[in-house]
Structure 1
Amino acid sequence: MNGTSPRRYAVYSIIASVVTLALKFGAWGMTGSVGLLSDATESVINLAAGVLALTALTIALRPSDRKHAYGHGKAEYFSSGIEGVLIIAAALGIAYAAIDRFLNPRELSNLGPGLALALVASVINFATARIMLRAAAHFDSITLEADARHLLTDVWTSVGMVAGLAVLLAAPQWQILDPVIAIVMAANIVRTGVSLVRRSVGGLMDNALPPDELERIGAAIRKHQGERATFHGLRTRKSGQRRFIDFHLLVPGATSVREAHDLCRVIEDAIEAALDNAEVTIHVEPLECASSYDGREVGGMSEASVMADRKGRNS
């Protein structure tokens, strides 16, 4: 994937959505199944999500400028958040159609050919989603991941729907299964939509980096800070693919500006080696100054441990 752009994979999603949309609406037209209609409706959302993803990635990949010093990475969260809302809306529409079919049942026809078209569409979506998940991991893109997870959800709901309709093919008297399957799919789609919205809101609200990444940051600092230095006030956030990290580094007051700068450079390099797309800002403070200890934690240690450590340094 070196030399490629994440936007290319959003284009793959759009192409796959157009193809599967045609296949699924064809399957619905042949059978009249509300389950297949719900599946086709989901493909409409997939197509809209793919266009949103491409737009968001185009914006997010723009370099920083005077008005956007931290870049445009948060555009990805708008895309995934809107996608989540669209998924929830589609699920409500599916549930409404299923209830209507439950109250006004009618016989289904041509299930065999319709199921075949739905299965072909599912295979296309599955292959596209797997490619996009690998790209999402490579580019660290929540937009590509959201689009891929959406496609996979479509695959699993399609498989469940096809399995249920296959039962109808063998036992036509079980017409009730069609709206029941659609309602179950709608519930699953709502769950995916809510999850995407929550993650997107977390990104927009500057949630801290995951615990495993915080641990890697702490380990990198402790490895290079030396015996006489410590740190506190660690703050992290993520904007699209970029991670922003800042903290206070406490060093002995006798340390020269050159020495402090060199130490900061080593620590910054270590953190950037541990985490991709990390941008580190370090504020240097004198270790002996009481005002330097303005946080409840220093380097992840409890307040009592900090005071004991500080007392030991001054003795």
Structure 2
Amino acid sequence: MSPQRRIALVSVLAATVLIVLKLVTGLATGSLGLVSDALHSGTDLIAALLTFLAVGMAVRPADRHHAYGHGKAEHLAALAEAAILVVASLFIAFHALRNLVGESQSNVDPRWYAIAVVVLVIAVDASRVLVSMRGARTYRSAALASNAVHFGSDLLGSVAVLAGLVLARAGYE
């Protein structure tokens, strides 16, 4: 397995673990932020799988149907990842706006373990950003670069969820 595929495979495994952690904790505490983050991690899993497949395909040599090789597969995966991110962001924004205008009641129970899970998620996201950026530079991989940007947005989202949980724990609604 190539180093690029190994990096992408670790992203697939990390996304799977993060989905379970965020969803279970979000449902247990009633945190829309964590449930939304779990949904976002679902899109991360799809994107990481696309990257894993694209990186494997991109290293194939030229053939009769692809005179210049299969390198464009990485760029197509990056484009698909961007589309997935847009759709997930719109879905999350819709539900967040419903909560803000009062259509839906939010009953968040900001337990200590919810905060601990989000801190762990932030650490995992930060490491995924660094590893993907390093892999993108080393192997000149558009798919890994796209992953790094995507995981950077996840990192910012997780910081926002952490801020929301801390504020809820402090008594703000």
TM-score (norm 1): 0.52
Question: Contact 2:32–2:106 (CA<8 Å) still a contact in 1?
Answer: no
Q: Which has the larger radius of gyration?
A: 1
Question: Contact 1:53–1:144 (CA<8 Å) still a contact in 2?
Answer: yes
Question: Contact 1:118–1:162 (CA<8 Å) still a contact in 2?
Answer: yes
Give the letter aligned to residue 79 of structure 1: A
2:66 equivalent to 1:81: no
Partners in 2 of 1:98 and 1:110 — Cα distance? Answer: 17
Alpha-carbon distance, 1:128 to partner: 2.1
CA RMSD of aligned residues (A): 1.5
Deviation readout 1:146-190 (Å, 9 max, x if unpaired): 11211121012111221122011102xx32xxxxxxxxxxxxxxx
Q: Which has the higher contact order (CA 8 A, sep 6+)?
A: 2
Tell me what 1:65 maps to: 63
Question: Contact 1:19–1:121 (CA<8 Å) still a contact in 2?
Answer: no
**Structure 1: tracts of 5 or more residues without a match:** 176-315
Partners in 2 of 1:14 and 1:125 — Cα distance? Answer: 12
Alpha-carbon distance, 1:55 to partner: 0.9
Tell me what 2:12 maps to: 14
Tell me what 2:137 maps to: 137
Partners in 1 of 2:106 and 2:6 — Cα distance? Answer: 43
Partners in 2 of 1:42 and 1:9 — Cα distance? Answer: 20
Partners in 1 of 2:4 and 2:136 — Cα distance? Answer: 8
Alpha-carbon distance, 1:16 to partner: 0.8
Bigger helix fraction = 2
Partners in 2 of 1:160 and 1:100 — Cα distance? Answer: 18
Deviation readout 1:257-276 (Å, 9 max, x if unpaired): xxxxxxxxxxxxxxxxxxxx
Give the letter aligned to residue 157 of structure 2: T
Tell me what 2:126 maps to: 126
- Cα–Cα, structure 1 residues 55 and 4, in superposed 2: closer, same or farther, change >3 Å? closer
Residue 40 (structure 2) aligned to one of 28, 42, 48 = 42
Alpha-carbon distance, 1:4 to partner: 4.4
Alpha-carbon distance, 1:15 to partner: 0.9
Q: Which 4+ runs in 1 deviate beyond 4 A?
A: none
Alpha-carbon distance, 1:109 to partner: 1.3
Alpha-carbon distance, 1:99 to partner: 2.3
Alpha-carbon distance, 1:129 to partner: 2.0
Alpha-carbon distance, 1:85 to partner: 0.6
Question: Contact 1:30–1:110 (CA<8 Å) still a contact in 2?
Answer: no
Tell me what 1:160 maps to: 160
Question: How do 1:208-247 and structure 2 match up within 5 A?
Answer: none
Equivalenced residue count is: 171
Question: Contact 1:59–1:75 (CA<8 Å) still a contact in 2?
Answer: yes
- Cα–Cα, structure 1 residues 66 and 106, in superposed 2: closer, same or farther, change >3 Å? closer
Partners in 2 of 1:4 and 1:54 — Cα distance? Answer: 10
Question: Contact 1:17–1:43 (CA<8 Å) still a contact in 2?
Answer: yes
Alpha-carbon distance, 1:97 to partner: 1.4
Tell me what 2:111 maps to: 111
**Structure 2: tracts of 5 or more residues without a match:** none
